[in-house]
Amino acid sequence: RFCGVAAVAGFGSFNAQVAEISIAQGKVRVHRVVSAVDCGRVVNPTGVLQQAEGAMVYGLSAALRGNITIDRGRVAESNFHQYEPLRMNEMPVVDVHIVSSTAAPGGMGELTTPPIAAAVGNAIFAGTGKRIRRLPFSLEKI
C-alpha cells in the first residue's frame, strides 16, 4: 500500500488529505482517506462531515472513472449506468477530523473535492515513480 498527501485552501477554509491506495493489475484501489478540515468555528458538525464525505465521493469518482466520450459531437453516456460513480462497495474508509477553532466560520462547499485526486495521484507516484498527468486515472497505464 502507498500513501499520498494533498491540501487545499478555499472558501476561507483549509483541507489536507492522505489517501492510502494499492495497485493491482494496473487498477488503483483507494482503501482509506484521512481528511483534516479547518473551517473556523463549526456551527453544524454533522453538516461539515456530510459535506466533506460527499465532496470526496464526487472527486474520487471523477478521478478514478469520470471519463466522458464524445461521439459525432454528442456525449455518448446517457446516465449513471454508463457514467458510473463509485459504488458503496468501492468506497474507501473515510475519516474526517474537524480542527477545533474559534476563527470565523469558513465555507465547506466542495472543499474536499480538489485535493482527493492529487492525494491519490501522489500515492500512485509513491508506489510507481510515475506521475499521472490526466484524469481519470483509468485512462493511464499504471
pLDDT tens-place string over residues 59-117: 999 999 888 899 999 999 999 888 888 999 999 999 999 999 999 999 998 999 999 99
Distance CA 82, CA 74 (A): 14
What pLDDT score was predicted for residue 82?
86
Between residues 18 and 135, the one the model is more confident about: 18
User: What is the distance between the terminal CA atoms of the chain, rounded to a whole angstrom?
Assistant: 14
Which candidate, 116, 61, 50, places its Cα nearest to that of 87?
Answer: 61
Other beta carbons within 10 angstroms of residue 6's beta carbon come to: 19
The SS3 of residue 2 is: strand
Helix H or strand E encompassing 71: strand 70-71
